């Protein structure tokens, strides 16, 4: 039952996950501001490279623990 629920959950989140990946993660990864950490269970984990990001970007994210869009999670 857990596997069926996992498959249904991933399928449900897939449209949002694809949009987030193409328009949010890929540009920031291409700029070198995000690094790919790997998968945790069903989530793709990315983290912000504080040394590579400009100050204004770091200022925006200070105080946040992370965010999630679909199955993409950003940890700070």
Q: What is the average pLDDT across 42-52? A: 91
Identify the residue whose tokens are 């200022």: 59
User: What pLDDT is attached to residue 73?
Assistant: 83
Residue 68 pLDDT > 80, yes or no? yes
* Structural domain containing residue 60: 2-75
Which one, of 14, 50, 46, 55, lies nearest residue 27 by Cα? 46
Number of domain units in the chain: 1
Residue 54 pLDDT > 90, yes or no? yes
pTM listed for this prediction: 0.79
């Amino acid at each position: 039952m857990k596997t069926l629920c996992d498959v249904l959950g991933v399928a449900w989140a897939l449209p949002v996950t694809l949009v987030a990946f193409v328009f949010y993660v890929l540009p920031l990864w291409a700029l070198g501001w995000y690094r790919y950490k790997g998968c945790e269970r069903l989530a793709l984990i990315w983290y912000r490279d504080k040394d590579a990001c400009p100050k204004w970007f770091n200022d925006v994210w200070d105080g946040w623990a992370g965010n999630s869009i679909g199955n993409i999670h950003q940890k700070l």
